A = this chain, B = another copy of it.
Amino acid sequence: MRRMPTYLHRLLRMQAGGEQWVSCADLAAYMNIPHILVRKDVAMTGLRGNRRYGFRVNELIEAILRFVGWDRPSTATLIGAGSLGTALLGFADFETYRFSITSVFDADPEKIGREVHGFRIYDIAEIRKRLHQFSPKIGIICVPAVGAQLIADILVSLGIRYIWNFANVCLQVPPGVIVQREVIAGGLAVLSAKIKQSEAGGGNVGQESE
């Protein structure tokens, strides 16, 4: 599932370049991953290819969007307009996924009332009053770890059932609430382990795309 945005990104560029067909081998070469992995990923979307030409670029884009659930729009509220939150607000690819952040809250008096990437930052103290205006489906938590559980509790109490958590803490949530946690340091762990392996003479560990 984590590879889907990368396929999409590549396919959209191919589409923009006027290309009509793509093969699993093309995508595998681009991402430097085994052919068979791409074949399996594409099969999961349910799309059947043409034996000779591969897949139609347009159809594969649509199949991926449908498979991921990005064929329907979804909206989010962002809590925490620090540098990571700001990076997310400026993330151009969200539009492709029909994903949009429609409200932003922070506790910092320096930030409240200011605009970031065209978003006015609201006072987190007003979230109970304001959030219903936006009726987001997803809550994005970009606050420091120490405050993340409290924010999660508030979001859940306001009816949010899906949380994308960037704070370095595992949130405790009631059954039925889904949390996706993003561990940026996880990538560093993978890289560090590869460096260790490589320096120990582990040979060519190659490029890893996720």
Q: Point out residues on A near B: beta carbons under 8 Å.
A: 1-6, 9-10, 30-32, 67-70, 74, 82-84, 86-88, 90-91, 93-94, 97, 99, 137-138, 145, 161-162, 164, 168-171, 173, 175-196, 198, 204-210
Given A170-B31, A180-B208, A194-B180, decide whether A2 and B69 contact each other with a Cβ distance below 8 A: no
Bound-complex Cα distance A181 to B175 (A): 33
Judged by DSSP, the binding face of A is mixed
A97 touches B192 (CB 8 A): yes
A78 to chain B, nearest CB (A): 13
A178 touches B194 (CB 8 A): yes
Across the interface, do A191 and B178 meet the contact criterion of CB distance under 8 Å?
Answer: yes
Cβ contact of A99, chosen from B6, B188, B204, cutoff 8 A:
B188
CB-CB under 8 A from A173, the residues of chain B are 207
| Complex contacts, A186 vs chain B, CB 8 Å | 1-6, 210
Chain B positions within 8 Å of A181 at CB level: 6, 187, 207-210
